[in-house]
Structure 1
C-alpha cells in the first residue's frame, strides 16, 4: 500500500488541520479495506467458523467503515462482488493507488491526471444494475473527493494565494461530495447564536410567543415601534463590535428600548445595567451624567460585556443567563448540576424564563407580520450629529445654537442628568440634530465662556437655608426652586444636592424679567458705568461726559421727559467694553 506523505503548513488553522487529518484517516482506512484478501478479512480461531466469527473490535471497525464507504468486504460471500466485478474494481483501485502515491509526493498534476482517468471509468459504469457494484463505485467516488479535498487544503496556503477564497472555491467545486463536518468554515462566519438559541422551539418558548401575541400584544407593538427608532443605530454598533445583531432583542426584553428605563433594583437604561457593572464597563455614572441612558455608549458597553461572557461560557444561552443572573451564579449552577446545558440547569425562575422570552421576542421581531403585527404607526429612525463640547455648556444654549428646542436636545442626550455638560470632564460628546453640527460649532464658538457655564452643584450643609444659598451664588430662591423642582422652598435637608443656575442662565432670566417690566436690557459686551449728579448738571451734559446719548440715559434710568434730576442722584449708563 502506498504511504501518503502530506506536508501540513504550520500556519494552517485548526479546522483545516482537523479536516486533513480526518481525510487521511479515511483514506488509510479505505486502503486497508480494499487490499486485504477476502480469506483473511475476518479474525478466526481454531474453534470458530472463519466466515462467521469476528472480534468485538473488528466488528465495530467494519460497521463504522461500511457505514461511511457503503461496502463491507468482510461480510459473508453472498454480499461480496462477483469475480468479474471484483477484477474491474481492483483495476480501478490500482488507479486510485497511483493517484494517492502521486499526492504523497506532492505531484498534484499527476494526481489530477489519475483522478480524471478514474472518474472517466466510473462514468462508463453508471448503468451497471448491480447494487454492490454501485456501492463500490460510491466508495471510490468518496475517496476521490477526499483526495481532491486534500489537494484543495494543500493549495489553499501556497504562497501568494488567498486561503479563504481558495478554500471556498475548491470546496464549491466538490459540490456536496463531502459531509459538512469535513468542510472548513469559509467566508462570513455563521453566528453561534443560531445554533445555541434561535432554533429552539419548546413549550417554554411557545408560552412567551402566545403572551406577546395575546395579552402582551400592545406592549410588544410599542417595543417594535421603538425598535424602528433605535434599531438601526444599536444593531450597527453590535455588528461593529462583532456581536450577533439578534442580541438587540436583549435590550427589547430588558427595557423596551427605554433610554431612561429604571427597574425596581435600580438597573437603568436600555441594557439595564446596575451602577457597579456599568462603571466596570467604563460608563460614567455620577451626579452630572448617567451614560447607561445613552444609546451609543451603553450599547458599546453591552457588546463588551456580552463578548466577555461569551469568552467564559462559549454558548449564547448561558451568556444570556449570566447577563440576567450574574456570571458567578451560573457557573455555580453548572458545577452543581454537572451540565452546561442551559435547559437542564436549575436556575432562578426569572433566569429560567429569560432565554425563552428572548427567543420568542427575536422570533416575532424577525417576522412581525407573520404574528399579526402590521406596523400601522411607523417611527422615524433616530439620527443625529455628534460634536465635542470643550467647556461646560447647557443644553438650552446648544438648542439655541442648533435652532432646536431644549426638549429636543434633552431627548438626544438622555445621559445628561442636569441639562448641561459636566464641568469636571473637559471635552464631552453631545448629540445635536442631524446635519446641524457645523452650524452649532460655529455659533458656539462666538459665545464667551462665562455664558456657557450655566450650572453648578451645591451640597446642602446643616443649618443652611435656600435664601442663604441663593445669596451666596448671586441668584434668587425662585431660580433655585425652579430648576430643582422644589414645591416647598423650606424643605431642604443636609446632603441634598442642588443645581444652582450660574451666570449664563441667570443672564437670560434677568433679561426676560427686565424686558417684561419694561426695563432696559444692555446688549452683551457692554459694561455699566455710574455717575453721581452734581449741582448745575444737566442731562445732556452728563450724557456728553459719559459718551452716551440723552435717550440712552432716559431709557436706562427710566427718566421721563417731565422728570427732574437732583444733586446726589446716581445715574447709570452702559458703554462697550474696551
Structure 2
C-alpha cells in the first residue's frame, strides 16, 4: 500500500500533524482551540541525551515488546533529527493518541496482536482519519480502495469506512495478522503492509533468501526502506516522551467519554449540529466516515453515529420528535405522474404516431407529456396519453358509488381495458377489473364480453 507519510520523521511538514496548521479540535468545549506548540514542552526540561542512554532504552523496549528493537545509526539519526526539528509535533501526536489509542489497543488485544502496533497508525497517517495520499490511500491505516474492500470495509458515495477509525482498525488487524502468518516476522509484516507482500517477497529473493528486514532493506522500495525505522523511532519517542519533556495538551475528549448509537434514519449533520447546539465540525470530527456529512437512511442496515456521552440523551429526544434530514431545494419536475386513468401500455408494433392517432392527440403533446426527445419507444413501456385524467377515482381511500345499470360490451380488435374505460363516462380500469374478475390481466381477446355498470340506461 502506498502511504501518505513518506519519511514521516524526517521530512513531514508540521501542518500534517494538525490539518489546520497549529489548531486542533478542542473536544472539551467543542470549539476550535488555537495554541502554541511550545506549551506542550516543559520549558525547564534539560537532559544530556547520549547514544549510551538511547541504547539502554532500546534494549529495555526489546525486552518489553515482541519486536526486535535494536540500536542502529538509521534509527538514532531519525530520533535525533525529529527531536531537533519536529519535537513540538510529538505533543500534538500525544493529544491524538490519548483519544485513539484506547480503541486501537482494544482491537489489537482482541486479535491477539502486539499492542505496540498502535504506533504504526502514527507512521501511516499521524492519526488523521481523513488523511488521503496522492495514490488514494485513506484513513488512519491508509487503506487503498481494493484492499479496504477486500477486508470488508464499505465504500460508496455516502460512506467510506476506511475513514472510520474503529472499522479501519479492525480491518488493519486482520491484514497485519495475515501478513504475519505469511512472513513469520513483524518487521517483514510491517514492510509488506507498506509496500505490499509482493515487494517483500521480491526483496527476499533478490537478497538470496535472507529474511531479516535490515538485510533485505536495500532491495525494498525507497519508501519502505525508511518505513520500519520510522516505526521504531516513533515507538521510542512516544514511550520515552516524558524523558524528553514532551507532554500532551490534554484537550482531546477521551475515547471513553464518547458513545455510539445505531440508527437507520437519514441524518444531516448541519441540522443535528443546530439541534444539539454543537459546531458541525465537531460532529464531523467524531464521524469522519460519512463523506457528505449525511448518514443515509437504510432499511436493512443500521449505521453508527458517535457523540459525547453527555449528548446522547438529547440526541435520542430529538430523533424521536423531529426529522433531521434536509430536502434539497430543487426545482420540481414538471412531468405528469402515470396512473391507470391516464396511461397506455405499448404493444408490439406500436409507435408514437399510432398511439397519438389512437387517442386523438398530437404527436407533440404525446412527447411533451412523457418527456420524450426522440420517437424511440419499446413494447411494454407505459405512456401518458391524457394529461387531464385524474387518478383519484381509483384510489382505495375514496368511496365511489357503484352504478346499477349493466351493459354487456363485446371486445373489439385493438381494445384494452383503458380504451374501453374511455368509451364510457366515469368508468375506471380498476372497476372493469373488479366487475369482470380481470385482476392481473391486460390483454382481452376480441369477441370477449365484459360487464360494464353505468348510471345511464
Deviation at 1:192, TM superposition (A): 10
Query: For the residues of structure 1 that align with 2:240 and 2:333, how far apart are their CA atoms?
Result: 57
| Paired residues of 1:420 and 1:454 also in contact (CA < 8 A) | no
Taking a change above 3 Å as real, the CA distance of residues 455 and 252 of structure 1, as seen in their structure-2 partners, is farther
Are 2:275 and 1:404 equivalent residues in the alignment?
Answer: no
- The alignment of Structure 1 onto Structure 2 pairs a total of residues equal to 269
Are 2:329 and 1:454 equivalent residues in the alignment?
Answer: no
Measured against aligned partners, the alpha-carbon deviations of 1:524-572 in whole angstroms (never above 9, x if no partner) come to xxxxxxxxxxxxxxxxxxxxxxxxxxxxxxxxxxxxxxxxxxxxxxxxx
Are 2:141 and 1:271 equivalent residues in the alignment?
Answer: yes
Query: For the residues of structure 1 that align with 2:184 and 2:133, how far apart are their CA atoms?
Result: 29
Query: For the residues of structure 2 that align with 1:417 and 1:455, how far apart are their CA atoms?
Result: 18
| Paired residues of 1:401 and 1:444 also in contact (CA < 8 A) | no
Deviation at 1:385, TM superposition (A): 1.3
Alignment match of 1:470 (pick from 313, 318, 330): 330
Alignment match of 1:360 (pick from 224, 228, 233): 233
| Paired residues of 1:385 and 1:436 also in contact (CA < 8 A) | no
Measured against aligned partners, the alpha-carbon deviations of 1:21-48 in whole angstroms (never above 9, x if no partner) come to xxxxxxxxxxxxxxxxxxxxxxxxxxxx
Query: For the residues of structure 1 that align with 2:64 and 2:178, how far apart are their CA atoms?
Result: 15
Query: For the residues of structure 2 that align with 1:279 and 1:192, how far apart are their CA atoms?
Result: 37
| Paired residues of 2:98 and 2:252 also in contact (CA < 8 A) | yes
What are the within-5 Å matches in structure 2 for residues 376-455 of structure 1?
379-382=252-255, 383-400=257-274, 402-424=276-298, 426-447=301-322, 451-454=323-326
| Paired residues of 1:238 and 1:245 also in contact (CA < 8 A) | yes
Are 2:179 and 1:309 equivalent residues in the alignment?
Answer: yes
Query: For the residues of structure 2 that align with 1:428 and 1:381, how far apart are their CA atoms?
Result: 22
Query: For the residues of structure 2 that align with 1:281 and 1:305, how far apart are their CA atoms?
Result: 7
| Paired residues of 2:137 and 2:144 also in contact (CA < 8 A) | yes
| Paired residues of 1:420 and 1:455 also in contact (CA < 8 A) | no
Task: For structure 2, list consecutive stretches of 5 or more residues without a partner in the other structure.
Answer: 1-60, 335-457
Alignment match of 2:243 (pick from 370, 376, 390): 370
Are 2:44 and 1:203 equivalent residues in the alignment?
Answer: no
| Paired residues of 1:388 and 1:428 also in contact (CA < 8 A) | yes
3-state secondary structure, aligned to 1:470: coil
What are the within-5 Å matches in structure 2 for residues 4-403 of structure 1?
194-197=65-68, 199-337=69-207, 338-345=209-216, 346-375=219-248, 379-382=252-255, 383-400=257-274, 402-403=276-277
TM-score (norm: length of structure 2) = 0.54
| Paired residues of 2:123 and 2:234 also in contact (CA < 8 A) | yes
Deviation at 1:355, TM superposition (A): 0.6
Query: For the residues of structure 1 that align with 2:297 and 2:264, how far apart are their CA atoms?
Result: 9
Query: For the residues of structure 1 that align with 2:142 and 2:229, how far apart are their CA atoms?
Result: 19
Taking a change above 3 Å as real, the CA distance of residues 416 and 455 of structure 1, as seen in their structure-2 partners, is farther
3-state secondary structure, aligned to 2:307: strand
Query: For the residues of structure 1 that align with 2:327 and 2:302, how far apart are their CA atoms?
Result: 16
Measured against aligned partners, the alpha-carbon deviations of 1:382-432 in whole angstroms (never above 9, x if no partner) come to 331111111222223434554534332212111111111123564211112
Deviation at 1:299, TM superposition (A): 1.1
Deviation at 1:373, TM superposition (A): 1.6
Deviation at 1:314, TM superposition (A): 1.3
Taking a change above 3 Å as real, the CA distance of residues 417 and 312 of structure 1, as seen in their structure-2 partners, is same
3-state secondary structure, aligned to 2:267: coil
Query: For the residues of structure 1 that align with 2:296 and 2:332, how far apart are their CA atoms?
Result: 22
| Paired residues of 1:385 and 1:435 also in contact (CA < 8 A) | no
| Paired residues of 2:124 and 2:140 also in contact (CA < 8 A) | yes
Query: For the residues of structure 2 that align with 1:240 and 1:320, how far apart are their CA atoms?
Result: 19
Q: Larger relative CO (CA 8 A, sep 6+): 1 or 2?
A: 2
Report which of the two has the higher share of helix: 1
> CA RMSD, aligned part only?
2.6
Taking a change above 3 Å as real, the CA distance of residues 323 and 343 of structure 1, as seen in their structure-2 partners, is same
Q: Paired residue for 2:413?
A: none
Taking a change above 3 Å as real, the CA distance of residues 378 and 416 of structure 1, as seen in their structure-2 partners, is closer
